[in-house]
């Protein structure tokens, strides 16, 4: 069982089962939503994700048609996103996980949109556009599109 929460602690959640690899998205929407050079997300089957407290404190923003980003109304911490195109999945913001977290960075995508002020210097797999399609959502940490 893995737990996590927002900055102020009003929203807390748990994830059952093993964690997928963290996917690093460099697209402009994720950069703006996270306020950083890339967003660190991990796909989680909705059956394995549960809000422990603060569900009433979650607010949402539809960043594009069918894509919703949920955040704490008190501190603004992004918690998850979900997409109508992948109803069985949420994408948890990895920075909200409690440590130690039993996961690792898996790959980077939308690297064609990487910011000039932070070059990519690691050897993680890179995809200039969208992440690869998965044969199974758990396989390799790849999940349906739900940034």
CA separation for the pair 22, 13 (Å, rounded): 17
State residue 131's pLDDT score. 86
Q: For the whole model, what pTM was predicted?
A: 0.87
Q: Please, are residues 63 and 33 in contact by the beta-carbon 8 Å criterion?
A: yes
Residues 6+ apart with CB under 8 A from 25: 38, 39, 41, 108, 109, 110, 131, 147
Block means of pLDDT (10 residues each) for the chain, length 147 residues? 98 97 96 95 97 98 95 98 95 97 96 97 96 54 46
Return the SS3 of 84: coil
């Amino acid at each position: 069982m893995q737990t996590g929460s927002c900055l102020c602690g009003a929203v807390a959640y748990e994830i059952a089962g093993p964690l997928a690899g963290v996917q690093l998205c460099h697209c402009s929407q994720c950069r703006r939503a996270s306020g950083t050079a890339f967003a660190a997300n991990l796909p989680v089957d909705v059956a394995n994700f549960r809000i422990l407290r603060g569900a009433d404190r979650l607010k949402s923003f539809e960043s594009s048609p069918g894509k919703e980003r949920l955040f704490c109304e008190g501190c603004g911490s992004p918690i998850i996103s979900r997409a109508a195109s992948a109803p069985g999945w949420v994408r948890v913001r990895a920075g909200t996980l409690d440590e130690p977290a039993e996961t690792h960075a898996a790959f980077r995508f939308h690297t064609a949109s990487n910011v000039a002020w932070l070059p990519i210097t690691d050897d993680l797999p890179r995809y200039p556009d969208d992440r690869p399609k998965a044969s199974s959502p758990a396989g390799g940490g790849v999940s349906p599109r739900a940034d």
